């Protein structure tokens, strides 16, 4: 059996990123009026939404790395480095920017927080997406769905981070071949 070229992983990672994003979108419904302004929000399963969004970005970055010939990585802390590089790449960023720099910075910060809440990045003393953790100040055992600050943000109708991050993820996936053309 031949060993696949690292670039052979790009499209499968991209397809799975798209699938994870679709699942996240199915958990959060943002109803927009005709001007695109958020008017009504129904949100369900916030911790699962955050998990799926984190997984989508992780797989998207692995697709980029594979497209670049770097091969699949088996680690979880890859998105932050990607975002730093993307922020410096004005050409690529201009193709997918969904707002002014402060909007993009808030999206990047939210995505970094999602990555840091992954259980294999953090530990049981820090907030996590999937598992309970111990609050260092109170000693209470916390639950992601109830206590994770990221979940509070996406369930707050005034905080627009969820629809903006979904829009950014969709732009990255839709423009993948333009941003990272096959060689």
Which whole number is the average pLDDT over 30-52? 66
Predicted model pTM:
0.88
Say if 75 falls within a structural domain.
yes
Measuring CA to CA, how many Å separate 52 from each of 2, 17, 43, 47, 57?
32, 9, 14, 9, 9
Q: What does the pLDDT read at residue 36?
A: 53
Say if 32 falls within a structural domain.
yes
Q: What is the pLDDT of residues 70-123, one digit of tens each?
A: 876 676 668 988 998 998 998 998 888 787 888 889 999 999 999 999 887 766
Domain limits for position 89:
6-178
Count of structural domains, the chain = 1
Say if 1 falls within a structural domain.
no
Gap between the Cα atoms of 135 and 113, Å rounded: 17
Output the six-digit token pair for 1.
């059996």
Measuring CA to CA, how many Å separate 77 from each of 28, 55, 178?
25, 11, 25
Say if 183 falls within a structural domain.
no
Where are the strands (E) in 21-180, listed by range? 28-32, 38-43, 133-134, 141-142
């Amino acid at each position: 059996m031949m060993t696949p070229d690292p670039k052979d992983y790009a499209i499968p990672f991209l397809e799975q990123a798209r699938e994870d994003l679709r699942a996240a979108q199915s958990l959060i419904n943002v109803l927009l009026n005709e001007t695109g302004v958020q008017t009504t929000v129904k949100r369900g399963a916030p911790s699962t939404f955050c998990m799926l969004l984190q997984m989508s970005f992780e797989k998207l970055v692995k697709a980029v790395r594979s497209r670049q010939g770097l091969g699949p990585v088996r680690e979880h802390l890859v998105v932050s480095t990607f975002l730093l590089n993307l922020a410096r790449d004005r050409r690529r960023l201009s193709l997918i920017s969904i707002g002014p720099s402060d909007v993009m910075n808030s999206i990047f910060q939210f995505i970094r927080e999602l990555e840091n809440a992954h259980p294999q990045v953090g530990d049981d003393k820090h907030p996590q997406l999937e598992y309970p953790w111990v609050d260092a100040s109170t000693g209470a055992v916390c639950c992601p769905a109830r206590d994770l600050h990221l979940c509070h943000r996406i369930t707050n109708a005034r905080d627009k981070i969820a629809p903006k991050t979904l829009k950014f993820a969709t732009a990255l996936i839709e423009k993948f071949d333009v941003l990272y053309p096959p060689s």
